[in-house]
Amino acid sequence: MTTMGIDAGELNDDDLVRELRQLHATRSETFFHGSDDALATHTSRTHELETEYLRRYPEREIDPMRLREGARQRS
């Protein structure tokens, strides 16, 4: 399957983040109401962009409250 848009590796950092935010913002609508092809394309593009982001930022900042220990502290 091919994805649409500029290859993730060719996007600058700001564009990569903007594209990821847009895909995450439209995920529910695509999941619940998009065609099978639209969902497959959305999933593929999201994976492509997320993989590129993780490649660039393997040591990305992790919010301690998003870990199990943080969840325990919230309860």
Three-state SS across the chain? CCCCCCCHHHCCHHHHHHHHHHHHHHHHHHHHHCCHHHHHHHHHHHHHHHHHHHHHCCCCCCCHHHCHHHHHHHC
Q: Write the pLDDT tens digit of every residue in 9-50.
A: 999 999 999 999 999 999 999 999 999 999 999 999 999 999
Residues 40 and 1 sit within 8 Å (Cβ to Cβ): yes
Q: How high is the pLDDT of residue 72?
A: 74
| Residue for token pair 């660039």 | 56
Q: How high is the pLDDT of residue 11?
A: 97
Q: How high is the pLDDT of residue 1?
A: 46
